[in-house]
Structure 1
Amino acid sequence: MLQQTQVATVLPYFDRFMQTFPNVATLAAADEQSLMQHWEGLGYYRRARSMHTAAAKIVADHDGEFPESFDDVLALPGIGRYTAGAILSISRDQRHPILEGNTVRVFSRWIALRSPATAKPANKLLWQVAEAMLPAKRSSETAGTFNQAAMELGALVCTPKSPKCNQCPVAKRCEANTLNLQTEIPGKVTQIKYQDRTEFAFVIAQTENQKRKSDPLGTKYLVRPIPPGSRWAGLWDFPRTIERSIESPIEAAGELTAALGEPIVPGERLTTIKHAVTKYRIKLNVHTADWGPTSTAPPGPPPEPWRYVTLAEMANLPMSVTGRKIAKLLG
């Protein structure tokens, strides 16, 4: 959970998660929808799926006990060198270095490395520095304690902007401090060049428009689980376009005909939601919609995997962030 996410954001999610999945066997046996519902809002949903797969592997290959060797931990889905090193150094007192956002900054400034840490030669060098900095094997200080201290130093003192060098316990031996290069190190990474994209989502109610306005809580709305391979796969959402930029609601409605199995007619615009995903800066236009005059969809059940659900039922489904915003608007 802490990968790419701050501690303050993670804490309430972690507490709720541990109440439902208190051990690896419970997590391995859980269905994906329940898992995704507990992860909803944290983003980077691949982490949740990898953890689910890793739990199953631990149960199957290690009798439900977390592996002790670095190679076995590294073989678990979703775990890389940093995560494996952090787990084993902190929980098992094994001598492994770690390199993440905070320690990258600390070690880069320590040796006055001006190159971006993402460059392969720089990254390789920083791993060597991280390992060399670990306490000696016979030292009373453990690698786990050192790794946590280095992360805290980066988070609280050796910060990205306005580092507190006057409070740093190792400032006198820091090359960047000596050369007055603190604000220039680490080297800047090329900023993401976002592509603008317009997408559409449609609110299709099972009841007539007037009833939707007078009885929003009793109305059922069309949703579906996002298919594998798509953005936010496994989460639920309203009918929406995500594959390419579309400029008109009529074109978007036509795009969704194949997925819905029936034509729809777009109605009034309810709102516009702006958000960013990976390299895309998205403007999501949310419209009402009704089944087309030639459609045979109402009043029967929608085609699989689409479902009509109330807002109360929707609250128990794992939804995309924008899908949840639309649901909140309807309530």
Structure 2
Amino acid sequence: MTGLPPFSDRLLGWYDRHARSLPWRVSPGDRAQGVRPDPYRVWLSEVMLQQTTVAAVKSYFAVFTQRWPDVQALANAADEDVMGAWAGLGYYARARNLLACAREVTRHRNGRFPETADALRDLPGIGDYTSAAIASIAFDEPAPVVDGNIERVTTRLYAIETPLPAARKAIRVRVAEMTPKSRAGDFAQAMMDLGATICTPRSPTCILCPVSEGCVARQEGRQEEFPKKLAKKAKPSRRGAAFVARRARDGAILLRRRPASGMLGGMAEPFTTDWSSKTDGATGLDAAPFAADWRRAGEVTHGFTHFDLTLEVWLATIQAEPTDAGWWAPVGDLNAAGLPTLMRKAVEAALAAAPSR
């Protein structure tokens, strides 16, 4: 790299010209004019982006910031409203931690987020990556930010042969060495953008890369070999059942709310059997929540992080109100009911099998 500007200078020069326009981001041009990122928007976007794509997050971010424009508004929101707005985004523990964090910041920190990665880690739901990202992007602390894109860029730059996740310590060390003392937030976002747009998992566009001259993997023609990964273990399969009750007079669907803790905690659902990552749920009519003319309506499947779940779907049209009722949701309002993806699949399967009224 003799005769070339330092790595961070080349990368930041590229970012100044090619930064992605994202609803939670302050552009490098605005940042240079003194516009400061809003820590609330940075935090909210980073929590949403955990294990979720930018494309999927954009619409959710718009809804959240319109309904709850600052951390105080979010802290005062009803749990069920936030969980409903989160429905479909997945990994629902994030939504519960989001509320817990907003309330901690509002009630015990005067509505202000801490400005260092160390202090941010004390907040609910904020780990090493999220704390570094918030501290760097919102407060320009030169904390090493390492997400999936940055892992890929860094393992290629240095041809790190250790497979993930064991390689993460070495990656973090390298990123810390590369992160400049000034414009740390722009540097982190530039690394993310480089991985998302040029240093992609397949067919990276090395000819357009502003830092390709120093990339060991490119020099060796092995870009797509990195990052190294261990073979994935097969996920176990689990089974359960969902019982969708439809009200005879208007077709409304009976829903209830899951317990606050555990899988899909606090989310709306039709009646279901118990199921977890450890034990198979019961299936069949013996598991029905109340007596009715239950008819099998098929199966739905859903992949969780650690297991795949298949639910038998049963449908009954009922006249009388069951004793242990939740609430009736009109079919036209199901999108607003906050059903997680799995439960929406179950209801849709039941409705598809229902006789026309």
TM-score interval for Structure 1 and Structure 2 normalised by the shorter chain: 0.7 to 0.9
Match of 1:324 among 323, 340, 344: 344
Could you list the per-position Cα deviations for residues 129-178 of structure 1 after superposition, in whole angstroms to 9, with x for gaps in the alignment?
1110012x3xxx51111111111111111111122222222222111122
* 1:6 to 1:315, Cα distance in 2 relative to 1, 3 A: closer
Match of 2:329 among 309, 316, 326: 309
| 2:216 paired with 1:175 | yes
In the TM superposition, what is the alpha-carbon distance from 1:219 to its structure 2 partner? Answer: 2.5
Residue equivalent to 2:8: none
Residue equivalent to 2:287: 255
Percent identity reads 34
Match of 2:262 among 222, 225, 230: 230
| 2:217 paired with 1:190 | no
Contact 2:106 2:112 in 1 (8 A): yes
Residue equivalent to 1:214: none
* Correspondence 1:91-110 to 2 at 5 A: 91-110=138-157
Contact 1:95 1:134 in 2 (8 A): yes
- Range with greater deviation from structure 2 (160-169 or 102-111): 160-169
Letter in 2 for 1:165: C
Contact 1:223 1:239 in 2 (8 A): yes
Contact 1:197 1:280 in 2 (8 A): yes
| 2:167 paired with 1:132 | no
Residue equivalent to 1:215: none
Contact 1:157 1:165 in 2 (8 A): yes
CA RMSD of superposed structures (Å)? 2.3
Could you list the per-position Cα deviations for residues 254-309 of structure 1 after superposition, in whole angstroms to 9, with x for gaps in the alignment?
234xxx4x445532x32322221223223322222378xxxxxx7345326x3333
Contact 2:283 2:312 in 1 (8 A): no
Contact 1:112 1:175 in 2 (8 A): yes
User: Secondary structure of the residue that 1:113 maps to in structure 2?
Assistant: coil
* Correspondence 1:1-331 to 2 at 5 A: 1-119=48-166, 122-135=167-180, 137=181, 141-207=182-248, 218-243=250-275, 244-245=279-280, 249-250=284-285, 254-256=286-288, 260=289, 262-264=290-292, 266-267=294-295, 269-289=296-316, 299-300=320-321, 302-303=323-324, 306-328=326-348, 330=351
Contact 2:274 2:281 in 1 (8 A): no
Contact 1:236 1:319 in 2 (8 A): yes
TM-score (ref. length: structure 2):
0.77
Letter in 2 for 1:204: A
In the TM superposition, what is the alpha-carbon distance from 1:246 to its structure 2 partner? Answer: 5.7
* 1:255 to 1:90, Cα distance in 2 relative to 1, 3 A: same
Whole-angstrom CA distance in 1 between matches of 2:112 and 2:261 = 31
Whole-angstrom CA distance in 2 between matches of 1:206 and 1:6 = 38
User: Secondary structure of the residue that 1:308 maps to in structure 2?
Assistant: strand
Contact 1:117 1:187 in 2 (8 A): yes
User: Secondary structure of the residue that 1:177 maps to in structure 2?
Assistant: helix
Contact 2:242 2:346 in 1 (8 A): no
Letter in 1 for 2:294: P
Whole-angstrom CA distance in 2 between matches of 1:92 and 1:29 = 25
Could you list the per-position Cα deviations for residues 196-229 of structure 1 after superposition, in whole angstroms to 9, with x for gaps in the alignment?
333321222343xxx5xxxxxx233322111133
Aligned residues: 301
* 1:165 to 1:242, Cα distance in 2 relative to 1, 3 A: farther
* 1:151 to 1:315, Cα distance in 2 relative to 1, 3 A: closer
User: Secondary structure of the residue that 1:166 maps to in structure 2?
Assistant: helix
Whole-angstrom CA distance in 2 between matches of 1:182 and 1:319 = 41
Letter in 1 for 2:175: A
Structure 2, unmatched stretches of 5+, are: 1-47, 353-357
* 1:246 to 1:264, Cα distance in 2 relative to 1, 3 A: farther
Whole-angstrom CA distance in 2 between matches of 1:327 and 1:90 = 41
Contact 1:270 1:287 in 2 (8 A): yes
TM-score (ref. length: structure 1):
0.83
In the TM superposition, what is the alpha-carbon distance from 1:12 to its structure 2 partner? Answer: 1.0
Contact 1:114 1:184 in 2 (8 A): no
Residue equivalent to 2:45: none
